[in-house]
Amino acid sequence: MTQSIFNLSGQTALITGGGSGIGKIIAEALAEYGANIAVCSRKVENCVETAEYLIAKYGIQAKAYLCNVTSEEEISETVKRVIKEFGQIDILVNNSGATWGERVERMPIEAWNKVMNVNVTGTFMMSRAVGVHMLERGYGKIINIGSVAGIKAEPGDVLNAIGYSTSKAAVHHFTRDLAKKWAEHGIYVNAIAPGFFETKMTKHVLDKHQREIINRNPLKKLGDPNSLKGTALLLASHASDYITGQVIVVDGGSTL
């Protein structure tokens, strides 16, 4: 019984930014439980490596796609190709993200716009494109990747990225609002808000403040891939069929 509610065999997941970091972690979690995987990003070579790895290890179908989530045209084309080549999209993981570290008074408007365009507008456009398909089918699971930065303000000497923090707070509310709008159509929309994990995006902060961050964490550690895998699997599978509009924090208690 436990296995059956997490079983993703025959389902297809589209994961943005799936070639590395959190996106790759989630792609592997879903592939392990039988999902076919479509990964896309601007760096398609990373996605190709991920797809080949998943095929070899789990024997599922996987394919890489070049897609800039700030381009409405590229999103539309990618979604059409995935549906044509896999048959359907059951799960969407909006993971592509951008950040920019700078003091508020020095942050260029171009940097602000870049972060907002990727993290907020990209999440909206991809959800809309895949959502049309999910609405037609009457089913879908959308998982947005937020952040504890969108829940709790950090001191400037730990995290000085107001565009990123603001964008992730927007992703959290987008999740709740979209869940309310599409619940009656069988579409579940939830978000994961990770704390500090070792990824390319967090490397700069951790290089300077890792010991301080760990000491301030109630569990006294950084996040590990298995923590995110379990949460992603829950939200992608039938185990979460009574959960929607939620932002699940995976942070070792740092936001307490």
Q: Are 210 and 155 in contact (CB under 8 A)?
A: no
* 95 neighbors 145 (Cβ within 8 angstroms): yes
Question: What's the pLDDT tens digit per position in 198-249?
Answer: 766 666 667 777 787 888 889 898 888 788 999 999 999 999 999 999 999 9
pLDDT in the model for residue 3: 59
Residue 90 reports pLDDT greater than 60: yes
Sketch the domain layout of the chain as residue ranges: 2-250
pLDDT at position 2 over 50: no
pTM of the model: 0.94
pLDDT higher at 37 or 197: 37
Mean pLDDT of 11-32: 96
| Residue 35: Cβ-neighbour burial (10 angstroms; 0-12, 13-18, 19+) | buried
pLDDT in tens, 32-57: 999 999 999 999 999 999 999 999 99
> Residue 187: its pLDDT value, please?
98
In this predicted structure, the answer to whether residue 19 has a pLDDT above a threshold of 80 is yes
Query: C-alpha dihedral over 200, 206, 208, 211, to 10 degrees?
Result: -160
Q: What percent of the chain stands above pLDDT 90?
A: 78
CATH architecture assignment, domain 2-250: 3-Layer(aba) Sandwich (3.40)
Residues designated as active site: 164
Measured from the Cβ of residue 33, the count of other Cβ atoms closer than 10 Å reads 18
Of 63, 72, 73, the closest CA to residue 13 belongs to 63
Please compute the mean of the pLDDT values over residues 106-122 and round it to a whole number: 97
The pLDDT > 70 percentage for the chain reads 95
Degrees, nearest 5: CA angle 206-46-62? 125
Q: For every residue of the chain, which 3-state class applies, written as one string?
A: CHHHHHCCCCCEEEEECCCCHHHHHHHHHHHHCCCEEEEEECCHHHHHHHHHHHHHHHCCCEEEEECCCCCHHHHHHHHHHHHHHHCCCCEEEECCCCCCCECHHHCCHHHHHHHHHHHHHHHHHHHHHHHHHHHHHCCEEEEEECCHHHCCCCCCCCCCEHHHHHHHHHHHHHHHHHHHHHHHHCEEEEEEEECCECCCCCHHHHHHHHHHHHHHCCCCCCECHHHHHHHHHHHHCHHHCCCCCCEEEECCCCCC
What single letter denotes the amino acid at residue 123? T
